DNA sequence: CGTTCTAATATGTATATACATAATCGCCAT
DNA sequence: ATGGCGATTATGTATATACATATTAGAACG
C-alpha cells in the first residue's frame, strides 16, 4: 500500500483517526454489514488502550459522516448505504460547441513554466515543490468566447507537456490522449464575473458565470487542475445517470 | 461580552454547536470575509466562558467543513470558497446544511394540484395530460435561506402525493422513501437572481445563483422535476469519482 | 396481566490538564 | 544586513473525570 493511498484512507497519524479508519474499513469492505452493532465505546477503549474521549471522537465523526447510527443505551450500528455516486462525464468543449452547430475555435492566451508556488501546490494537492505548467486559454463558439480555461499541469507527472506550446491543440484533448486518469473531482459553482473573466468572455463585470473546476489524478499522482468559466447564458451542464448497484 | 447575548440558538442545544453556528453564521452572512482571522481559541474561551476543548471542537468541525483554515501559531482564517458540501448524489439538503453545523429548517411556500399545463408537460417530459402537483419550498441554514425549490410531481406516477401537504416533510425525502428512481438527469447552470428568487433567498436581484435541475424517472415513467436555486456564496457542488474500480 | 417506577447502561457534553508540534518573532553573533 | 537559534504562541491530540440524557430491562404494583 502506497503512502498516498494510506494518507487518503487514514487521514493522519493520530489515534482517533486510526480508530476511525479501522472502522470505516470494516464497514466499507463489508465485514461489518448494515445493522451490525459495532463494539461499545468501552470495548474500543480497551481494544485501543485509550480514553473514551478518543474513541468518542472517532465514533462521532463516523456518525456525522453517515456511516453509523448511534443510539443511547443500545450502541452504535452500521447504517444502510444511502448515497449514489453520480458520474459526470469529462467533457470536451469542442464537442459541446459543435453539438450546438457552431464553429469551434481555440486560443492559447498565456503559457508559463514555473516552479510550483504554494498556491499551485494547493490547487494540485501536491506535496512537494516541482515544475508546473500554467496555461490560460479561450474557447470560442462562432465569434463569441464560450469558455475561459485556467489550467495547471504537474510536470512531474506529465514531463512531455513541457515541450508542448499548446498553440494548436487544447490541453484537455492533449492530456486525454496521453495520460489515463484514475480519479477526478469536480467542483461546480456560480460566481460573479471579475474584471479579468468579464474581459476574456466579453460579458459585463458581475454577470453570473458557471465555474467548473476539475482535478485529475493518475495512479495517485496529481496530473492537472483546471477551471472552466462559462458565461451563464452560454452553458448548461448535463449529467444523466442511473443509480449503481447498492 | 455582549456577543453572548446576541448568540443565536441553533444547531442543537450544546455549547460547541452554538459556537459553531455563531461562527458559520458570521462567515456565511459575509460579516467575516475570506481571509479574516477569527478570534483565537483562548479569546472564544473567554467570550463563551467555557474550556478550550469546547471551542476546539467547534473550530475543528468548521475546518473540516472547509469554512475556515487553521494555522498553528497564526490562528484560524475564513477560507475563500465559503462553503462546500455535499455531493452530486441524491440531494438531501438537510444533510448538506447539517454538515455545515447549522440548524436546518424547511418551509413550504405554495402547493397547487392542477391539470398539467403544456409547460408542465415539457418539464416532466410527459406525453399526455394528467394531474400534477406543483410545489414551492424554501430550505434554511440557520436563519438564512439556503435553497429555493420549485417542484412538479407527476400524480399519475405517485398518486399518494395528492394527499400529502408537505408542510412538515420536504418533497425530496418524502419521494425517496416511496418511489425508487431508476434514472435521473441533472442540469446545472448559473443564473442571475430574478426578483422572485432574490426575495426568496434574501439576496440582491442579479446576484449569481447556482441552479440545479433534476428530472427523475422510475421504470420509464417521469416521476418528478425539481429546480433548486442556491445563492452563489452558499454552495459548491462536489462530484468525485473514479472511472473503473473503487 | 398490564402499567408504572426504578436502576442500569451507553452515549452526549463539558471540564481541567498535559504535552506535542508547527510556525513565527526577535535576539544574537557573524 | 542576515542567517541561525531558542523562546513564544496557537493549534493538535490525548488524558481522567464528571454529570446529563435517552433508552431499556426488569422489578414492583395495582
CB contact under 8 A, B232 and A208: yes
pLDDT of residue B210: 86
Residues of A with Cβ-Cβ distance to B244 under 8 angstroms: 182
Greater confidence (B89 vs A38) lies with: A38
Across chain B, mean pLDDT equals 81
Look at residue A72 and tell me whether its pLDDT is greater than 90: yes
- Which nucleotide is closest, CA of B70 to its C1'? D11
The mean per-residue pLDDT over the stretch B126-147 comes to 90
Q: How many Å apart are A75 CA and C4 C1'?
A: 26
- Of B residues 4-23, those with CB within 7 angstroms of nucleic strand C are 12, 14-17
Look at residue A7 and tell me whether its pLDDT is greater than 70: no
* Three-class SS state of B212: strand
Q: Which residues 184-213 of A are in CB contact (within 8 Å) with B? A: 184-192, 206-211
pLDDT of residue B86: 29
Greater confidence (A80 vs A10) lies with: A80
Task: Tell if B72 CB is < 7 Å from nucleic strand D.
Answer: yes
Q: Which residues pair with B132 in a beta bridge?
A: B114, B154
Closest CA to A226 of A99, A121, A134, A97: A134
Task: Tell if B74 CB is < 7 Å from nucleic strand C.
Answer: yes
CB contact under 8 A, A189 and B236: yes
pLDDT of residue A6: 32
Greater confidence (B211 vs A238) lies with: B211
Cβ atoms within 10 Å, residue B37: 13
pLDDT of residue B150: 96
Q: Label residue A1 by pLDDT band (50, 70, 90).
A: very low
Helical (H) or strand (E) element with B153: strand B144-154
Task: Tell if B70 CB is < 7 Å from nucleic strand D.
Answer: yes
Q: Supply the ipTM of this predicted assembly.
A: 0.58
pLDDT of residue B171: 93
Q: Label residue B239 by pLDDT band (50, 70, 90).
A: low
The mean per-residue pLDDT over the stretch A195-213 comes to 90
Domain B2-78 in this protein, CATH class: mainly alpha
The mean per-residue pLDDT over the stretch B55-77 comes to 90
Contact (CB, 8 A) for A212 and A186: yes
**Residue at grid coordinates 454538515:** B99
**Residue at grid coordinates 433534476:** B214
The verdict on A80 touching B (C-beta cutoff 8 Å) is: no
Residues with Cβ within 8 Å of residue B100, at least 6 apart in sequence = B24, B28, B65, B67, B83, B85, B141
Look at residue B207 and tell me whether its pLDDT is greater than 50: yes
- Of A residues 59-88, those with CB within 7 angstroms of nucleic strand D are 71-74
**Set of cell numbers at residue A196:** 479579468
Look at residue A85 and tell me whether its pLDDT is greater than 50: no
Look at residue A89 and tell me whether its pLDDT is greater than 70: no
Distance CA B170, CA B152 (A): 13
Q: Label residue A143 by pLDDT band (50, 70, 90).
A: confident
- Which nucleotide is closest, CA of B51 to its C1'? C15
Look at residue A246 and tell me whether its pLDDT is greater than 90: no
Residues of A with Cβ-Cβ distance to B230 under 8 angstroms: 190
A91-105, A128-142, B33-47: segment of lowest average pLDDT: A91-105
The mean per-residue pLDDT over the stretch A190-219 comes to 87
Question: What is the DSSP annotation of chain A?
Answer: --HHHHHHHH-SSSHHHHHHHHHHHHHHTTSS-TT-EEPPHHHHHHHHT--HHHHHHHHHHHHHHTSEEEETTTEEEEPPP------PPPP-HHHHHHHTT--EEEEEEEEEEEEPPHHHHHHHT-SS--EEEEEEEEEEETTEEEEEEEEEEETTT-GGGGG---SSS-HHHHHHHH---SEEEEEEEEEE--HHHHHHHT--TT-EEEEEEEEEEETTEEEEEEEEEEEGGG--EEEEE-PPP-
pLDDT of residue A4: 28
Residue spans per domain, chain B: 2-78, 93-234
pLDDT of residue A15: 92
* Three-class SS state of B221: strand
- Of A residues 213-242, those with CB within 7 angstroms of nucleic strand D are none
The mean per-residue pLDDT over the stretch A208-216 comes to 85
The verdict on B71 touching A (C-beta cutoff 8 Å) is: no
Q: Which residue is nearest to nucleotide D21 (CA to C1')?
A: A72
* Pick among B51, B71, B86, B190 to test the A interface (most A CBs inside 10 A): B190
Q: Label residue B80 by pLDDT band (50, 70, 90).
A: low
A52-66, B80-94, B216-230: segment of lowest average pLDDT: B80-94
According to the CATH classification, is domain A93-234 in 3.40.1410.10? Answer: yes
The CATH topology of domain A3-78 is Arc Repressor Mutant, subunit A (1.10.10)
- Which nucleotide is closest, CA of A39 to its C1'? C10
Amino acid at each position: 500500500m502506497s503512502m498516498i493511498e494510506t494518507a487518503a484512507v487514514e487521514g493522519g497519524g493520530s489515534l482517533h483517526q486510526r480508530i476511525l479508519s479501522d472502522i470505516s474499513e470494516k464497514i466499507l469492505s463489508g465485514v461489518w454489514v448494515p445493522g451490525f452493532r459495532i463494539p461499545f465505546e468501552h470495548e474500543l477503549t480497551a481494544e485501543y488502550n485509550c480514553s473514551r474521549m478518543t474513541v468518542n471522537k472517532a465514533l462521532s465523526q463516523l456518525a456525522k459522516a453517515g456511516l453509523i447510527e448511534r443510539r443511547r443505551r443500545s450502541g452504535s450500528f452500521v447504517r444502510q448505504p444511502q448515497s449514489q455516486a453520480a458520474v459526470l462525464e469529462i467533457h470536451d468543449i469542442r464537442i459541446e460547441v459543435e453539438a450546438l452547430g457552431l464553429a469551434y475555435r481555440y486560443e492559447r492566451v498565456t503559457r508559463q513554466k514555473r516552479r510550483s508556488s504554494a498556491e499551485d501546490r494547493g490547487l494540485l494537492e501536491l506535496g512537494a515543490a516541482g515544475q508546473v505548467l500554467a496555461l490560460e486559454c479561450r474557447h470560442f463558439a462562432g465569434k463569441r468566447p464560450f469558455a475561459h480555461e485556467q489550467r495547471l499541469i504537474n510536470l512531474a507527472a506529465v514531463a512531455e507537456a513541457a515541450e508542448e506550446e499548446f498553440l494548436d491543440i487544447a490541453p484537455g484533448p492533449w492530456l486525454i490522449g496521453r495520460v489515463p486518469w484514475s480519479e477526478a473531482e469536480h467542483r461546480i459553482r456560480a460566481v460573479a464575473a471579475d474584471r479579468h473573466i468579464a474581459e476574456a468572455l466579453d460579458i459585463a463585470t458581475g454577470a453570473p458565470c458557471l465555474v467548473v473546476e476539475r482535478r485529475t489524478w493518475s495512479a495517485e499522482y496529481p496530473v492537472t487542475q483546471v477551471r472552466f468559466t462559462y458565461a451563464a447564458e452560454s452553458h448548461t451542464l448535463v449529467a444523466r445517470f442511473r443509480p449503481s448497484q447498492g
